[in-house]
Structures are given as C-alpha cells and as structure tokens.
Amino acid sequence: MRRLPGTDLDLSTVGFGCWAIGGQYWGDDVDDQRSVDAIHAALDHGINWFDTAPLYGYGHADEVLAGALRGRKAIIATKVGVRWDGPDAHAESHLSAARVVADVEASLVRLRRETIDLLQVHWPCQRHTPLEETLTALQGLKRAGKVRWIGLCNYNAAGLRAASDIEEIHCLQTPYNLLRREFEGDLRAATEVAGPAGGSLGVLAYEPLCRGLLTGKFRATSRFPASDLRARDDRFQGPRYLRALTIVSRMALVARRLNVPVSALAIAWLLRQPAVTAAIAGAKSPAQVQENAQAMALAQRDDVPWVDIDRIVSAYRG
C-alpha cells in the first residue's frame, strides 16, 4: 500500500484498470462474467482500487464494476470530461463546468455510489474552456461531497503547474512502462509541483504492460482482430514491434530464473521508479490479475537483479 500524497487514500501499488472490461477496442474476447471474476480476483489478491471512466464501453465498465463490487469495499477512481457522439464516434475532451457536473452525476448513478473517491480530468481541454472553469466546477463537486479528491490525466508539467496554482490537485495519471518512457521528464517535474499537503503530487502509471506486450505472450506473427486497438497501434507493427519483442524476451529470461510472470516483473520495475505511486494494470481474467498482482511483493524483493533489468530497459531505442 502507498498513500496517495495529501489524501487519506491508501492504494495497493497495483490497481485494476477497467478500460478493457468495457468491452470496446480490446477485441472480441471480453466477457462480463469473466470480468466480474477478474474484479473479485483483484480484491482477493489485495488490489483495493479500480480505475474506470465514462468512456470505457460508454458506461459499461462502470456497470460491470458496480455489479461486481456489490457489498465489497473498494476505492474507485474515475474520470470526467470526454464526450462522444454515439458508439464508435470520435471522442474528444469537453471540460465545460456543465459537462463536468453532468459526467459526475451520471457516474455516481452507474457506480451506485454517493461519492467518488478520486475524480480525474481525462484529457487536457481541446475546446478552449478556461482551466479555471473546469477546476472551479470540480472543487464545487468536492464541496458538495460528490467527489473526495481530484487528479489530472495526460497533462504535461506546465499544465500540471498551471492547474495546481488554481486548485488542489493530488495526482497525475500518465502512460508509463519500460517501453514507453517519453514522459519521464514531465514526471520528474510533476514531483516538484507541490501538492496541497506540501509534499509532491502522486503519480498513477497507466498502460504498465504496454497493452499486453510486456506479458511475453506475443510473437512476431501475432495478429489482432479489427475490433482490437492494437491492430492499429504501431508499437505492434514492423521493426519497432520486433525491437520491443527482443526486450521482452530478455525480461522473460530474468522472470524465468525468478519463477515469476513477465508481467509482474515489468510492473514491479515500474513500481520502483522514483516518481510512481502506483500502477494501473488492465486485465480481462482472474488469471491475468493473479499474475499482475504478484508485482506488489516482487517490487520489494532485493534478490531481483534490478541493475540487470535497468540495463535491459536502457537498451530499448523505441
């Protein structure tokens, strides 16, 4: 567990990401009952928080999560500010006060909660809404007891600083894994942005498995159906994909020697990076959760050759 700085939220260092269980963009094998079983497995393995968003399955992920959690205690982090016009339509950020309030009200209904533990702005504004308008609306929701703590996703260091000058921001959610390190500079800067409690902001790392690539299950010949966003992700194509697979195979050798899943080793590496508070790992099944949850203990082990792993990671050129 790590405390999200400046809040009373003690988060397991691995959280459960709900994007895939929304059932859109992640292929044809998402099954609601298996998703419910995965959520129960997460709780059983000590994962105590779930990251969702209205966009994930256009509300379906929230409904599956709320149904699975019935009567079980868990922290829910969700998001606001992305709109879309009908399924499969282009989604864009929309951060007017009215939109933010409407998103929260709808989320509370779907999640069957009276308050949201952590509310995050999903993307920086693409519609010229002044930052003050969005953040003032969020603080109003906090004062009304509908939201407990506030964070931002996908903001760079400058955006984060600007937001923190206006209102209390507690964390940044950003993509980060051993094959995707381009935001490390922003992360370092984020940790220098003073949080409301005088300490630094928390960092929640998403996509810790590089969309499954860091599990070791893919081969050079692996293909994805059109319904899977990885069919259009250039990290899964051409020479870049082959370079990534080389790094993964080196990680797999280390994981085999330690008798741990590659996915757990990849997430554990992330948990040891200085800025990171916790990682959000997506999963579709109890077996995937069981593997990923092992990262929490693994990150604390001294018998793991962390220096060798750093060398493997540094060899990747993107």
Stretch that binds ligand NAP, among 93-101, 180-188, 241-249, 288-296 (CB under 6 A): 288-296
CB atoms within 10 A of CB 263: 25
| Cβ closest to ligand NAP, residue 26 vs residue 304 | 26
Q: Does 232 bind ligand NAP (CB under 6 A)?
A: no
Distances (CA, A) of 196 to 63, 165, 202, 249: 32, 10, 11, 42
| Cβ closest to ligand NAP, residue 198 vs residue 236 | 236
Distances (CA, A) of 163 to 143, 190, 224, 293: 18, 12, 39, 33
Positive or negative CA dihedral for 127, 132, 136, 138? positive
Q: Is 155 a catalytic residue?
A: no
Stretch that binds ligand NAP, among 35-43, 161-169, 210-218, 239-247 (CB under 6 A): 210-218
Of 51, 99, 38, 74, give the one whose Cα is nearest residue 206: 51
Stretch that binds ligand NAP, among 17-25, 85-93, 184-192, 308-316 (CB under 6 A): 17-25
Any residues with CB less than 8 A from the CB of 186 and at least 6 apart, and which? Answer: 156, 157, 160, 174
Stretch that binds ligand NAP, among 192-200, 251-259, 284-292, 304-312 (CB under 6 A): 284-292
Q: How far is the CB of 27 from ligand NAP (least distance, A)?
A: 5
| Cβ closest to ligand NAP, residue 198 vs residue 254 | 254
Q: 165 is written with which tokens?
A: 């000058």
| Cβ closest to ligand NAP, residue 143 vs residue 283 | 283
Any residues with CB less than 8 A from the CB of 203 and at least 6 apart, and which? Answer: 171, 172, 173, 174, 176, 187, 190, 191, 275, 276, 277
The interface with ligand NAP within residues 161-180 (CB under 6 A) comprises 173
x/- mask, ligand NAP, residues 20-49, rule CB under 6 A, reads x-----xx----------------------
| Distance of alpha carbon 60 from alpha carbon 110, whole angstroms | 9
Q: Does 209 bind ligand NAP (CB under 6 A)?
A: yes
Q: Does 304 bind ligand NAP (CB under 6 A)?
A: no
Of 16, 30, 31, 65, give the one whose Cα is nearest residue 228: 30
- Any idea how long the chain is? 318
The interface with ligand NAP within residues 100-159 (CB under 6 A) comprises 122, 153-154
Q: Which residues bind ligand NAP (CB under 6 A)?
A: 17-20, 26-27, 51, 122, 153-154, 173, 206-212, 215, 217, 261, 263, 280-284, 288, 291-292
Name the residues annotated as catalytic: 56
